[in-house]
Amino acid sequence: MLNKFGPSSHGEAHLQYLDGDFRVISPGAYVRCAVTGVQIPLDELKYWSVDLQEAYAVPDAVLQRHFPDALKT
């Protein structure tokens, strides 16, 4: 259930992350990446963890969170 809000929504949103979707608990324009802290606009949010209930900006952030040693060379 993708909840879209008009331009009047500002600040950070609070979401419940579901399998393949998310529910807006508190409206806002963005969420923060749990790894990098980068703001992710809700309409660009693609990666999250249902188990950890957190969002990620890019696939590398997902790997870094779940497999911290995988990206070390």
pLDDT tens, position by position, 48-68: 999 999 999 999 999 999 998
| The two three-digit tokens of residue 7, written as one number | 């331009």
Only one residue has tokens 């259930």, namely 1
Confidence at residue 65, expressed as pLDDT on a 0 to 100 scale: 93
Confidence at residue 7, expressed as pLDDT on a 0 to 100 scale: 47
The string of pLDDT tens digits covering residues 3-50 is 454 445 689 999 999 999 999 999 999 999 999 999 999 999 999 999
Report the distance separating Cα 34 and Cα 64, nearest Å: 10
